[in-house]
Amino acid sequence: MGKKVSMRNALVFGGAGFIGSNWVRHLLESGDTAVHVFDNLGRAGVRHNLKEIQNAYARSSRLKVTIGDIRDAAAVERAAQGATEIYQFAAQVAVTTSVADPRLDFSTNVAGTFNVLEAARRSGNRPFLLFTSTNKVYGELDPAHGGSTSTRYLPPDPHGVSEVQPLDFHSPYGCSKGAADQYVRDYARIYGLPTVVFRMSCIAGPQQFGNEDQGWVAHFLYSALLGNPVTIYGDGRQVRDVLCVHDLMAAFEAARQNLPATAGQIYNIGGGPQNTVSILELLREIKRLTGSSVEYSFSPCRPGDQLVYVSDFRKLQRHTGWRPRMNVRATLQCMYDWWQAHAGLFEEAERPVRATGAGSVEVAA
């Protein structure tokens, strides 16, 4: 008889969001993982993501859902009991929201993540814990760049930004995510939790409901398809590296499977130098793919905006062998295919529900 394989028990905070719902599907498709989704359903589109997951796995005993808020420490601690791996994706994600309401930003990103860490520590299971941070912890970066062309600024370093780049938060959002990722790292040092931090660049792909403040690739693509005008802050030559969410899923698995190397580490992750695109170049790609142009106007750059950000992911590559597989054009195609199958969702956009964090409710799969 073969050796019995023990069931993985994964708790996914923010499991109905863009990254979370993709990861939940990935885990459920693996067949060897029980998945607990914990989400406050406070963002547009997440109710649809959760409903699709529940419909697809209606007969599965491996899916559990809790409607709750990470600011509720007791609910978080209850959820963490028995988890062998924890993914902290729940967050306030917009720089503009953090400026307008820094207390909400702090209570969600810092206090909420602290609740998750304490729940992991107090569970006694020493679960693997992965936290998604952001390139915004590096602030505005040096405004100098490596030159420019008519459509893009060039990075000062061809390899991109590495983890040795000094932290310089430059916004309440940068402060909250940066403080949280330092807490996550220190819980590995002080308490021996096998934690990993991903400082992520631009992630794009299916199940993403982008807007002006977050998910810019999706925002521009769907605006073109819906005929909605957009605002470009700056001159449109700003450059980011784009990583398809499917490649991010592979990176999550690589980090978990290589814990002797990855535990306690922080990694910059994105599409890297081979997957860079400027705003102007993205608009051209959208027109090529869909036949639809985006009507746009220009406004001044916003505080904290980086002219160029490109991830140097070579540290993660050295530790795990991971590298991106999908380029920008393939990622856009994947998003366009998903939009065509779900266009009705965008005709009547969901209104986000602001959760109070007062408690949690468990729902059957």
Residues annotated as catalytic are 173
What whole-number distance in Å separates Cα of residue 91 and Cα of residue 98? 11
Query: CA 326, CA 199: separation in Å to the nearest integer?
Result: 19
Distance from chain centroid for Cα 23: 10
Collect all residues with Cβ–Cβ distance below 8 Å to 134 and sequence separation of at least 6: 173, 174, 177, 199, 200
Given 3-state DSSP classes, what are the helix, strand and coil percentages for the chain, each rounded to the nearest 5? 40, 20, 40
Q: Can you list the positions of beta strands (E) in the chain?
A: 8-13, 33-39, 63-67, 85-88, 128-134, 195-200, 202-204, 230-233, 239-244, 265-269, 276-278, 296-299, 308-309, 361-363
Interacting residues of 83 by C-beta distance below 8 A, sequence separation 6+: 9, 10, 11, 36, 120, 123, 125, 127
Contact at 8 Å (CB) between 92 and 98?
yes
| Residues facing residue 87 across a β-bridge | 12, 130
Give me the torsion for CA of 228, 231, 235, 239, rounded to 10°.
Answer: -80
Tell me how far apart the 2 most distant CA atoms of the chain are, in Å.
Answer: 67
